[in-house]
Amino acid sequence: MTLSPLPTRPPQAVTEPAVASGPTRPRRSRPGFLREQISGWGMIAPAAALLLLFVFLPAIMGFGLAFTNARLISPRPVEFVGADNFARLFADPTFWRALLNVTYFAVIVVPVQSALALAMALLINKKFRGVNFFRTIYFLPVVTSMVVVSLLWMFMYRREGLINELLSTFSFGLIQGADWLNDPATAMPAIIALSIWQAAGFHMIIWLAGLQSVPGELYEAAQLDGASHWQQFRFVTWPGLKHTRSLVLVTITIQALGLFDQVSVMTQGGPLDSTTTIIYEAVRSGFKQQETSYASAISLVFFVLVLLVSAVQRYLTREKD
C-alpha cells in the first residue's frame, strides 16, 4: 500500500470513481481517515513484518528447501533435486519407527492427559477455602521447564531411583521396578508418564476456562430437578464444554506429535530407536549432520501430518446438528 504522508487523498483515490458508490465511500471522506490509515498501518507493521520474516518466509523456504540439496554451511550452490529427500526419507526404517513411536505416544497421552486435566479442573472449579493454593500447585509442573523435568525424572527413573523405591514401598515390596529408560519396552511408557505429569496443568487451565463459562443457573435448574452429581456432569457440564473439548484435543495432539525435549535430554532416541521421534530425527539430521534440505523434508512431512490429524479431529468433533 502506498500512502503519501502529504495531507492529500491517497493516490489510488484518483483511479477509483468506479467504486466510489461502494459502501466504504462515506468513511473515506471522514476527517482523519488518511491519518488513521497511516497510524494504523504503522502500528501493525512491526508485528506483521516480524511474523512475515520469521514465520511466513521460513515456512515457505522450508517448503522449497525440502526439494533441494541445501546444507547449513556449504561451498556448493543449492540445487533442485526433486523429491529425492522424500524418497530417501520414506525408505528409511528409522523414520517409520519414529512415526510409530510418536503415534504410540499420542494415542496414550491425548486421552489420558485430557481426562486427568479435566478431573483437576473439576476439583478446583468451585470456590472453596484454599482454591488458589491448589490451582497454583497443580500448575507448578507447567512452570517447570521440560528440560529440568526431564533431567529430574531421569534421576528418579534410575534402577535404584525414587520411582522404583516408591513403587516398592506402596506395593509392600511386590513390584520390582524396571530399569525404565534403558529398556526398549519401558522407555516410552516412562517418557509418557513424565510428559503427562508436566503438561496436564496447562490443559487444566483451558478446561477451567470452559467450566467457568457454563452458566450457573443451569446447575441450579438441574439440582431442582433432582439431578445427581454425575447427571449434572453428563447433561450440563459435558455439553457445555463442546468447544473447549476440541481445543484441548487439538492442542494436546499437536504437542504430542512434536515430542522432542524429553527425548533429547533423556534417551537420545534410544534404546534401539524405541523413543526416537519425527522432530528428533529432523533435528538430528538438520543440526548434527547439517543437512538442512533433508531436515526440511522431515519438517514438511510433520506439518502435513499435523494438518491431517487436526483436520480429522475437527471432522470427528464437528457439530452434529
Partner 1 sequence: MKPTFISTNLTSLGTMAVRILFAAVAVFPIVFMLVSSLKPDQQIFGDMSSVAAFLPIGNISFDNYAAVFDRVPAARFLINSIGVSAVTVVLGIFVNSLCAFALSRMEVRGKRIVFSAILATLIVPFQTLALPLVWWVNQLPYFELDGFSLEFSKGWLDTYQVQIIPFIANAFSIYLYHQYFESIPKELDEAARIDGAGWFKIYRQVVMPLAGPATATVAILTFLPAWNSYLWPLMVVQSEELRPVMIGIQYFFQLNVSWGEVMAYASLITVPVVILFIAFQKSFINSIASSGVKG
| Closest by Cα among 49, 84, 135, 101 to 259 | 101
Binding-site member from 89, 98, 102, 295 for partner 1 (CB under 8 A):
295
One residue of 55, 83, 175, 221 binding partner 1 per CB under 8 A? 55
Least separation in angstroms between CB 59 and partner 1: 6
Please say which residue, 64 or 271, places its beta carbon nearer to partner 1: 64
Q: Is 89 in the site for partner 1 (CB under 8 A)?
A: no
238: cell is 459435558
Name which of 103 and 310 has its Cβ closer to partner 1. Answer: 310
Residues facing 68 on adjacent strands: 80
Considering only residues 7-46, where is the footprint of partner 1 by CB under 8 A?
Answer: 27, 33, 35-37, 39-41, 43-44, 46
Report in angstroms how near the CB of residue 68 gets to partner 1 at its nearest: 10
**DSSP structure class, residue 78:** P
| Pair 3, 38: CB distance under 8 Å | yes
Taking CB under 8 A as the rule, does residue 197 contact partner 1?
A: yes
User: Cβ closer to partner 1: 96 or 287?
Assistant: 287
Between 187 and 194, name the residue whose CB sits nearer to partner 1: 194
Q: Which of these segments, 90-98, 103-111, 174-182, 286-294, binds partner 1 (CB under 8 A)?
A: 286-294
Task: For residue 11, give the 3-state DSSP assignment.
Answer: helix
Closest Cα to residue 261, out of 94, 96, 147?
Answer: 147
> Cis (ω within 30 of 0) for the bond into 215?
no
Span 91-130, contacts to partner 1 by CB under 8 A: 119-120, 123-124
User: How distant, in Å, are the alpha carbons of 160, 250, 265, 312 from that of 306?
Assistant: 39, 9, 24, 10
| Residue 56 lies near partner 1 (rule: CB under 8 A) | yes
DSSP for 84-95, please give it. Answer: HHHHHHHT-HHH
Which window, 86-94, 103-111, 181-189, 259-267, contacts partner 1 (CB under 8 A)? 259-267
Question: Whole-number minimum distance, CB 82 to partner 1, in Å?
Answer: 18
Burial of 203 (0-12, 13-18, 19+ CB in 10 A): buried
Q: Which three cell numbers, joined as nine digits, stand for 65?
A: 528447501
- Cβ closest to partner 1, residue 153 vs residue 180: 153
Instruction: Give the side-chain half-sphere CA count within 13 A for 170.
Output: 7
Is residue 218 a contact residue for partner 1 (CB under 8 A)? no
Site for partner 1 in 69-88 (CB under 8 A): 70, 72-73
Asked if residue 283 binds partner 1 (CB under 8 A), the reply is: yes
Residue among 256, 218, 260 nearest 237 (CA): 218
- The CA-CA-CA angle for residues 175, 181, 262, to 5°, reads 125
Decide whether 83 or 119 has the Cβ nearer to partner 1: 119
Taking CB under 8 A as the criterion, the residue among 81, 265, 271, 273 binding partner 1 is 265
**Rounded-to-integer distance, Cα 186 and Cα 273, Å:** 13
Q: Which is nearer to partner 1, 70 or 187 (CB)?
A: 70
Contact between 271 and partner 1 by CB under 8 A: the answer reads no
Q: Roughly what angle, to the nearest 10 degrees, separates helices 131-143 and 187-212?
A: 140
Of residues 166 through 195, those in contact with partner 1 by CB under 8 A are 168-169
Per-residue binder mask for partner 1 (CB under 8 A), 146-165, x = binder:
xxxx-xxx-xx---xxx--x
